[in-house]
Amino acid sequence: MNPARLLPWLASLVVTVPVFSAEKAAAAVRPNLIFILADDLGYGELGSYGQKRIKTPHLDRMAAEGMRFPQFYAGSTVCAPSRSVLMTGLHLGHTRVRGNAGGRNMEAQTLLAGDITVARVLQQAGYATGLIGKWGLGEIDQPGEPRKQGFDYYFGYLNQGHAHNHFPSYLWRNGEKVALPNDLVSSGVWEGMGYSKNRQVYGDDLIAQEARDFVQRNREKPFFLFWSLVTPHANNERSRDLGEGNEVPDQGIYASEPWPESARNHAAMVTRMDRDIGELFALLKKLGLDERTVVMFSSDNGPHKEGGPNYDPSFFTPSGPLSGMKRSLTDGGIRVPFLARWPGRIKAGVVTPHVGYFGDLMATWAELAGATPPAAIDSLSFVPTLLGRGEQRRHRHLYWEFYEQGVSQAVLMEDRWKAIRLKTTSAPIQLYDLSTDVAEKNDLAARHPEWVARARELMTTSRVDNEHWRIPPVPARK
């Protein structure tokens, strides 16, 4: 392991959290762990984050009964690398999969045998581990296939192109294809990629049922469920070919709204997702697991604009007060809703100022489970924040990179100073003060050269080389 990966630990600060409970996270019970990950859901698309048009009553109740994080960050601004950060506890300068290479370079789109995922850490600690939904980090014949990365069981989509299709012709269960009655109009480089014209079975419904079934089967022992949704991601291929990519069986409560059809479809996808999450909470209560289960919810990146030519994402203000969307390194592309609930342990109705990101879930879940995470990771447990006791360490900086139309980089320093360099290492660094400018409208680079210099240094030192994800050397300054 490269020593550079130890730097985030050495650079962390300690913050004292007010105490309301003295108990240790895993002293009396090893809780079940459920992580629900929406796909392309924007920061402002939940009622608890300010959404006015789309109804999300179950997630809003989750926020009221648990803890809400206004400044929490995804691993990346697109799908696969965000999940790679989540699984490995390594930020984008260190994790294996750093971009969406797609079918053009499958070797760049898989975890390898030597990678240590949080699923493997929890599996080795005695947890039953399940992945339900979208994976994106390795195909059936690759080392990143879920069972090779610590999951006892999986059901869903292996590659993200296949996951665009909400009415798929098949899904995967533990290495076997499960045929579905939907036809496939193939459109793309991945197997299964395309759309159906004979739409009979909604894949999202099957995935929700599988998540509930996994909980039922494993209710007698500690389990880790990664419920990786594919909503509200658009079917990009259907958008291009048929003009409408927000796929949903019906428009539900929005059918009579005087909105554009595509907006009604998108809202219906989000509310249907919320309904499915409510059914999971009801099951936990029915089985007597509610107080033994930590449930967390988030999104993999910012909101999409891929629903088709008639879809105007601004209709819902999906990024809330933030600038940018998916594929942007402004906060609208990477800051995501994040909720955590554990009745009796996490105090209800708390809005925390703690700043975290997906990589921190490795250390957090390991601490809750009484497991030992890898030593050299970019991960700080936020259990002290969740339980309101002890000392909370925080990152001195967070780091992102993005590989489309060149290579862009971003650094968040001291939870406040946000630096962005777009598309090339020769580009000027933009600097924003998020404490006063959450929309990142006022570039302060000229007024704070010291933070620009620090950001320039971190954009070099925060990463190690990866043969599939390379950044050109920074030109010598004249």
292-308: average pLDDT: 97
Please tell me the least confidently modeled range out of 20-29, 43-52, 285-294, 437-446.
20-29
In this model, does residue 4 exceed pLDDT 50? no
CATH number, position 122: 3.40.720.10
pLDDT of residue 3: 39
Length of the chain: 478
What integer pLDDT is reported at residue 28 of this predicted model? 53
Helix axes 261-286, 57-65, angle to 10 degrees: 50
Residue 103 has a pLDDT of: 64
Question: Stretch 369-391: mean pLDDT, rounded?
Answer: 97
State the pLDDT confidence band at 189, using cuts at 50, 70 and 90.
Answer: confident
- Residue 22 belongs to a domain: no
Of the two residues 291 and 21, the one the predictor is more confident about is 291
pLDDT at 20: 33
- Give domain status of residue 93, yes or no: yes
Q: What is the mean pLDDT of residues 321-330?
A: 98
Looking at residue 476, what is its pLDDT? 64
**Above 80 in pLDDT, residue 10?**
no
pTM: 0.94
Query: Is residue 301 located within the same domain as residue 414?
Result: no
Give the domain range for residue 409: 405-461
440-467 pLDDT, tens digit per residue, is 999 999 999 999 999 999 999 999 999 9
Region 372-384 average pLDDT: 98
Residues 215-229 have pLDDT tens digits of 999 999 999 999 999
Count of structural domains, the chain: 2
Are residues 446 and 306 located together in one domain of the fold? no
The verdict on 421 and 320 lying in the same domain is no
Residues 319, 425: one domain?
A: no
Split at pLDDT 50, 70, 90, the class of 132 is: very high
Is residue 303's pLDDT more than 70? yes
Helix (H, G, I), strand (E, B) or coil at 365: helix
* H runs (alpha helix) in 252-359: 261-286, 331-334
Question: Which of 457, 474, 467 lies closest to 7 in space, CA to CA?
Answer: 457
Does a structural domain hold residue 215?
yes
The answer as to whether 420 is a domain residue is yes
Q: Find out whether 263 and 315 touch, Cβ atoms under 8 Å.
A: yes
Residue ending a domain, among 350, 378, 396, is 396
- Tell me: do 224 and 85 sit in the same domain: yes
Average pLDDT over residues 155-171: 97
**Residue 164: predicted pLDDT:** 97
pLDDT band (50, 70, 90) for residue 101: confident
- CA dist list (Å): 311 to 110, 267, 305, 316: 32, 12, 7, 11
Residue 474: its pLDDT value, please? 73
Residue 446 is predicted with a pLDDT of 99
Instruction: Report the sign of the C-alpha dihedral through residues 34, 38, 39, 43, in that order.
Output: negative
The overall average pLDDT reported for the chain is: 93
pLDDT in tens, 383-429: 999 999 999 999 999 999 999 989 999 999 999 999 999 999 999 99
- Cβ atoms < 10 Å from Cβ of 452: 20
Same domain as 347, residue 413:
no
Do strands 356-357 and 128-134 pair parallel, antiparallel, or not at all (unpaired)? unpaired
The CATH number covering residue 409 comes to 3.30.1120.10
Is residue 477 in some structural domain?
A: no
